[in-house]
Chain A
Amino acid sequence: MAFEVPKTAYSGKIKEIKLGSGDKAVTVGGESCYPFYLFEGEMSHSPRIAMEVWDMPPQDWAPAALEPFQGVTDDPVAWAKKCIDDYGAEMICLQLISTDPNGLDRSADEATAVVKKVADAINVPLIVWGTANHDKDTEVLRQIAEVCQGKDLIMGPVEEGDHKKIGAAAIGYHHTVISSTPIDINLAKQLNILLGNLGVADEMIIVDPTVSCIGYGIEYCYSVMERMRMAGLTQQDEKLQFPLICNISKEVWKTKEVHIPTAEDPKLGDAKKRGILLEAMSTMVLLLAGGDVMVMRHPEAIKLVREMITELTAAS
């Protein structure tokens, strides 16, 4: 039977950006089709996974999430190295949890020292993620930007309220900014325009649409990301043609569902596998919506997602 495979009419392309520097630098973006629609176009660069490291020992992680990092959670450098050496991390995302003014409220000096140590110890791209408190992030990220000049960090979240100061520091010291808005395509576009006006080059922007996991509103970010891809690829909306970063594992592992022990509710199955699957499946869903850099935690979840990416992009 004569059957013609229907094809989407694409008119745009996602921008390519290089993250980090040196021979371990990673390039993402460059898609000319919807995620994994490889019969219609190309994904010049497969989505990448960054492994999450905290700048303080986690207090409330589920046992399943802690287990792979036993012995290193009190040392971000050792933790990051373990991710790279033992679990093959291609990128590290250092979450600056300790700087939260509602938590430990560690100073910018302390945070900067930790970031510098990690940056010096590894050669894969380093993402530095603050606490979304404008004043604190401004103080912390500006200092980090300066001290880590030459490390080509990826730093954020940069929001409308602090984009000028952090953006300026990122321009000055050549770091990529994470343009972050709360699950809204128009706000995302607006901030990308503002960053452009400020002088941040297109290839120095990666977009954080703000993500959540299965059971906690994943459908909202899923649809916002799909709409961004649609606008960028089919409606020539240049300010929505940036690669997307999803800081997802933190969201998954703080939910009630990953903390319930197996014995407490046997119908929810094995607690460890449940946590791994919630992370892997949430990540999978966001990859289908257009994620380019996925921040993940559990090595087994990462392994599953890597296999999915490999097989979805395999030569046909």
Chain B
Amino acid sequence: MALTGIEIFKLLPKTNCKDCGEPTCLAFAMKLATGKAELSACPHVSEESKAKLTEASAPPIIPVTIGVGDRVLKIGGETVMFRHEKRFENPPGLAILISDGLDDAEIDARLKRFNDLQYERIGLLLRPDLVAVKAGGDAARFKAVVTKVKEKSSGGIILMSDNPEVMAAGLAACADRKPLLYAATEANQDKMAALAKENSCPLAVKADSVEKLAELTTKLTEAGIKELVIDSGARALRQAFEDQVIIRSAALAKKFRPLGFPTIVFPAEMTDDPMKEAVIASMFVAKYGGIIVLSDFQGESLFPLLVERLNVYTDPQRPLATKEGIYEIGKPNDSSPVLITSNFSLTYFIVSGEVETSKIPSYLLVKDTEGLSVMTAWAAGKFVADAIAPFVKKCGIADMVKHHKLVIPGYAAAESGGLEEELPGWEIQVGPRDGSNIPAYLKSWHP
């Protein structure tokens, strides 16, 4: 648990020298407690205190980064069991498995899928994160495949081998990309630890139970490896699920450091049915997977997983918002209906989906309401005539349609009078309250 300001103060020199930029040691301690200052700003703190403070301030689940540049993946760093308690911090990395025993054409096809399967949603780019290259046993082949993966994709890399020599060969091809080494086991831990250390790479640890996992991570931590990713070895669904929960709660509720690391899970090794594999992966997205390794990527399963991940990792205190503007649905022309709604992304998805269902090409104006839904935004004064009218004028819709009729949501009906005053020449029409009635409404709409 994090220390309080007073507890931190006791470990400081208490000289009030101001070298840290704060007027007193107590003020500095208070800032440290709230994360607004760094301990390194104090040049006089003793080594002993430093060790204690670093230990106490370390996050209960260590954040781990894999990869470099704009494809760097950060996992771990979680602080809660349930997203409503605060939020989930770092979405799990989705990895595609490429075994070096596959023929080159298949490897190329998988890399192409890895690169191509990206999706835009509410202005965000949704894409998978990692390529897991699995060694068969031949070091030269492994190295060749890793080289190809590195050349053909910019994603993060997981090197999979329990043979340190083979691992070293793969690592030689991509150490500059900061791959995750999978995995250190009881049998190979010293050599794997050495490889991870020499190359400053994160190291995955695999054992056949949570207890043995804790023993291994303790040894590796003592050996100086900080960035670990853990695999409890369970491949049966129930055990794999329970291990995820146990690991997370041991780290958070018990502050049990040996399990305070992000996890790696393998739906790829839990079933031969790609459909079931996807459902298993969806379970791990919600329940605590750090990296989720899939046997392959196909749009029909990857897309839902990426959207689920986006949903589950949305900050409950900050709803996703859509960009303000004019959205064309279908191919609207100058006599198509014009509707307006708020920019809460869920509102946008529902309204645009219903407009699409109606098959009536339309213009949808999305007004920035700071991510609030229509009713809430209306109540908060962000979706009222004074706010809507300037946007309608400015957005340029008047030049795009011959008629000047604007459909407002039923819940904002009270604004129709005000809007007609603020928007001379426009006829304000009150649409349905519920999105599901939009198709019927639009079908009977005439310019």
Q: Which of the four size classes fits the interface of chain B? A: 35 or more
A313 to B241, CA, bound (A): 11
B414 within 8 A of A: no
User: Could you tell me if A316 and B239 are in contact, using CB atoms closer than 8 angstroms?
Assistant: yes
User: Could you tell me if B286 and A266 are in contact, using CB atoms closer than 8 angstroms?
Assistant: no
User: Could you tell me if A277 and B250 are in contact, using CB atoms closer than 8 angstroms?
Assistant: no
- The smallest beta-carbon distance between A18 and chain B, in angstroms, is 27
Task: Give chain A interface residues in 259-301, CB to chain B under 8 Å.
Answer: 259, 266-271, 273-274, 276-278, 280-281, 284-285, 288, 300
Name B's interface SS.
helix
- The smallest beta-carbon distance between B272 and chain A, in angstroms, is 13
A305 within 8 A of B: yes
A215 to B312, CA, bound (A): 10
A197 within 8 A of B: no
User: Could you tell me if B256 and A3 are in contact, using CB atoms closer than 8 angstroms?
Assistant: yes
Task: Give chain A interface residues in 207-222, CB to chain B under 8 Å.
Answer: 214-220, 222
User: Could you tell me if A280 and B275 are in contact, using CB atoms closer than 8 angstroms?
Assistant: yes
User: Could you tell me if A281 and B276 are in contact, using CB atoms closer than 8 angstroms?
Assistant: no
User: Could you tell me if B316 and A277 are in contact, using CB atoms closer than 8 angstroms?
Assistant: no
Task: Select one of B236, B301, B349 contacting A215, CB under 8 A.
Answer: B349
User: Could you tell me if A214 and B84 are in contact, using CB atoms closer than 8 angstroms?
Assistant: no
Task: Select one of B237, B258, B279, B305 contacting A305, CB under 8 A.
Answer: B279
A230 to B304, CA, bound (A): 27
User: Could you tell me if A276 and B84 are in contact, using CB atoms closer than 8 angstroms?
Assistant: no
- The smallest beta-carbon distance between A273 and chain B, in angstroms, is 4
B45 within 8 A of A: no
User: Could you tell me if A255 and B353 are in contact, using CB atoms closer than 8 angstroms?
Assistant: yes
Residues of B within 8 Å of A256, CB to CB, are: 352-353, 356-357
Residues of A within 8 Å of B168, CB to CB, are: none
Contact indicator per residue, chain B 415-447, by CB within 8 Å of chain A (1) or not (0): 000000000000000001000110010000000
User: Could you tell me if B258 and A312 are in contact, using CB atoms closer than 8 angstroms?
Assistant: no
- The smallest beta-carbon distance between B378 and chain A, in angstroms, is 17
Q: Which of the four size classes fits the interface of chain A? A: 35 or more
User: Could you tell me if B214 and A269 are in contact, using CB atoms closer than 8 angstroms?
Assistant: no
User: Could you tell me if B311 and A218 are in contact, using CB atoms closer than 8 angstroms?
Assistant: yes
Task: Select one of A38, A222, A269, A308 contacting B280, CB under 8 A.
Answer: A308
Query: Which partner residue on chain B sits nearest A5 by CB separation?
Result: B246
User: Could you tell me if A218 and B238 are in contact, using CB atoms closer than 8 angstroms?
Assistant: no
Using a CB–CB cutoff of 8 Å, the interface residues on chain B facing chain A are 82-84, 116-119, 121, 210-211, 214-215, 218, 236-239, 241-242, 245-246, 249-250, 253-254, 256, 258, 275-276, 278-280, 282-283, 286-287, 298-305, 307-308, 311-312, 314, 316, 346, 349-350, 352-353, 356-357, 432, 436-437, 440
Using a CB–CB cutoff of 8 Å, the interface residues on chain A facing chain B are 1, 3-6, 8, 36-39, 60, 102-103, 214-220, 222-223, 226-227, 230, 254-257, 259, 266-271, 273-274, 276-278, 280-281, 284-285, 288, 300, 304-305, 307-308, 311-314, 316
14 chain-A/chain-B pairs, Cβ below 8 angstroms? A38-B242, A102-B436, A215-B311, A216-B350, A220-B346, A222-B286, A230-B82, A268-B303, A270-B299, A300-B275, A305-B279, A308-B276, A312-B238, A314-B236
